[in-house]
Amino acid sequence: MNGLNLIQITDRGDPRIAPFVGVRERDLTGGADGRFIVEGKVPLQILLTRSRFAVESLFLGENRIAPLADILADVPEDIPVYTAPQSLMDQVVGFPIHRGVLACARKGAALTLQTLFSAKPERVPGAQSARPDQRREVPDQVRNSRTLLVLNQISNHDNVGGAFRNAAAFGADGVILDAGSCDPLYRKSIRVSSGSTLWLPYHHGGTGAEQIAALKAAGFTVWAMTPRHEARPLAELKRPDKLAILLGAEGPGLPDTLITACEPVRIPMRTGFDSVNVATAGAIALSHVFKPD
């Protein structure tokens, strides 16, 4: 394949594929070395064409090279593409990697809250472009974020991925996660999000109280989603000019202190049933304020 830096791997101990060894263990360490792993065809395509993250290398099953030809055309010539038989790839990764598609990327500099409030970045300086002949200057930001999704103490990777997918589908400009929420670049979160954690801007860190205060100072109205009966029904509300939708963890929900600091909003449900999955709640609230282009 012309222009592809294809490298055959024959030894599971080859140091060049060290980032792909024991992928599940790497997941648990949270990418302490600044790397993260992307799995699957759709996330790989997004990583190569829309992501703000720098791609370091690819690791593909031998039988995946030809089917992925169109996607691999976007791999810069200086990025190594390691390939191995399925059995060897399984040994390296530590489990049967049926999709046969992995990539290693760098997290780079984190986005600040203020950047998220005022901008909608697609890439950061130094991020990987697509093919070398397609490299171009991309504006750092598009001004005027109007809708943000805020996640508080969401420690389930499926829920974080689902929340990002819904935020992307319903036009949110970004996602804010407190320090108690899990990493959006965890491999499963990326996959569940359909790759949206790779391109939708987010800030991860700090406390819910700090984030609410910063949102209000930036002119955002914050809706705290809660099943409390005294909360206003979602259907009765019109969207403010700048809106942040705050979601709490499954089970305990949002702390009283955070609900009190915001505008409590509920999704009416049938008698005897007061909650839905947190990602679903986010989708319902975002859909209520979404206006297609």
Give tens-digit pLDDT for 7-26.
Answer: 999 999 999 999 999 887 66
* Mean per-residue pLDDT over the chain, rounded: 88
End-of-domain residue from the set 106, 127, 162:
106
Nearest Cα to 107, choosing from 38, 178, 42? 38
- Which CATH number do you get for residue 57? 3.30.1330.30
CA-CA distance, 276 to 278, in Å (whole number)?
6
- Which CATH number do you get for residue 170? 3.40.1280.10
Residue 26 confidence (pLDDT)? 65
82 and 155 inside one domain: no
Considering the domain boundaries, does residue 179 fall inside one?
Answer: yes
Residue 140 confidence (pLDDT)? 44
Number of helices (H) and strands (E) in the chain: give both, helices first.
10, 12
Phi, psi of 92 (to 5 degrees): -65, -50
154 and 275 inside one domain: yes
82 and 159 inside one domain: no
Q: Out of 9-18, 121-130, 175-184, 195-204, which region has the weakest mean confidence (pLDDT)?
A: 121-130
Phi, psi of 278 (to 5 degrees): -60, -40
Nearest Cα to 290, choosing from 243, 233, 221? 243
Considering the domain boundaries, does residue 112 fall inside one?
Answer: no
Residue 131 confidence (pLDDT)? 40
162 and 228 inside one domain: yes
pLDDT above 60 (res 227): yes
Q: For 215-232, what is the mean pLDDT?
A: 95
CA-CA distance, 33 to 250, in Å (whole number)?
30
Q: Are strands 35-39 and 101-106 parallel, antiparallel or unpaired?
A: antiparallel
Q: Which amino acid is at 12?
A: R
Q: Which residue would you say has higher pLDDT here, 213 or 270?
A: 213
Q: In this structure, are residues 101 and 41 in contact, taking their beta carbons and an 8 Å threshold?
A: yes
Query: What range defines the domain where residue 37 resides?
Result: 5-106
Considering the domain boundaries, does residue 196 fall inside one?
Answer: yes
Nearest Cα to 206, choosing from 177, 184, 186? 177
Q: Which amino acid is at 178?
A: D
End-of-domain residue from the set 75, 106, 137:
106
Residue 126 confidence (pLDDT)? 37
154 and 213 inside one domain: yes
Considering the domain boundaries, does residue 129 fall inside one?
Answer: no
254 and 205 inside one domain: yes
70 and 176 inside one domain: no
10 and 101 inside one domain: yes
164 and 276 inside one domain: yes
45 and 170 inside one domain: no
Considering the domain boundaries, does residue 217 fall inside one?
Answer: yes
Our count of domains for the chain comes to 2
Considering the domain boundaries, does residue 158 fall inside one?
Answer: yes
End-of-domain residue from the set 54, 81, 106:
106
Three-point CA angle 25, 85, 107, nearest 5°: 40
Three-point CA angle 27, 30, 31, nearest 5°: 90
98 and 153 inside one domain: no
228 and 175 inside one domain: yes
Confidence of residue 291 (pLDDT cuts 50, 70, 90): confident
Confidence of residue 137 (pLDDT cuts 50, 70, 90): very low
Confidence of residue 33 (pLDDT cuts 50, 70, 90): confident
Considering the domain boundaries, does residue 133 fall inside one?
Answer: no
Considering the domain boundaries, does residue 30 fall inside one?
Answer: yes
